[in-house]
Amino acid sequence: MQGTRSQVDLRCYAIVDPEVAGGHELPDLCRMLAAGGVTLVQLRDKLSDTCVMVERARAIKAALGPVPLVINDRVDVALAIGCEGVHIGWDDMAPADARRLLGPDAIIGLTINSPQRADATDLGLIDYAGIGGVYGTTSKVTKNSPIGIAGMARVIEALRRRKPGFLTCGIAGINAANARPVIEAGADGVSVISALSMAKDPRAAAADILGVVNAALAKRTSK
């Protein structure tokens, strides 16, 4: 795996999914998102056969250029294409197993939605937490209610009590209009699906969200 752990940038973290692609082929979509300034991309593909997913992931990696790519859940696909890492859900492969397979330099992200789970996680094994869902979302079927900005802030507090400066991003239902409160509540970035993939101009949408996040981060650090 490529050595990028120390350079994880969550400011504008795009999740791309063939089921939520706005009519675009994913490599074309990723090319537009990279041009708009996304800082990290995750391929989420729950339906494709492995060979199809590997081929698609390899094309996405080529389209992204220097923008890091992580694969949702599928450590095997990440290894096959030599991308930067994986993002795993709470009920997926254990972080210790993912780290053992991917090595010390891979990026590993974990979804965390409660302070209790934050306390139960070995933060030495992962590089960031995706926290949420913050707002309601239509891009994924979920049985969990949104935790809101206040719920996200509690998870961030639990994580940073144990590891100051630990990287986090809010996820679910985030767009340029509601990204600012996510950053103000302590997140380092936003993870976005529909507001990028379904936009008329994904490049412009990425630039807009990145601009909002950068402004909110600048304001936070100036206090």
- pLDDT digit string, tens, across residues 161-197: 999 999 999 999 999 999 999 999 999 999 999 999 9
What are the residue ranges of helices labelled H in 22-143? Answer: 26-36, 50-64, 75-81, 95-102, 115-120
pTM metric for this prediction: 0.95
In the chain, the percentage of residues whose pLDDT exceeds 90 is 89
- pLDDT digit string, tens, across residues 95-132: 999 999 999 999 999 999 999 999 999 999 999 999 99
Q: Are 212 and 181 in contact (CB under 8 A)?
A: no
- CATH number for 7-201 (one of 3.40.190.10, 3.40.120.10, 1.10.150.120, 3.20.20.70): it is 3.20.20.70
- Structural domain spans, the chain: 7-201
pLDDT band per the 50, 70, 90 thresholds, residue 4? low
- pLDDT digit string, tens, across residues 134-171: 998 765 555 678 999 999 999 999 999 999 999 999 99
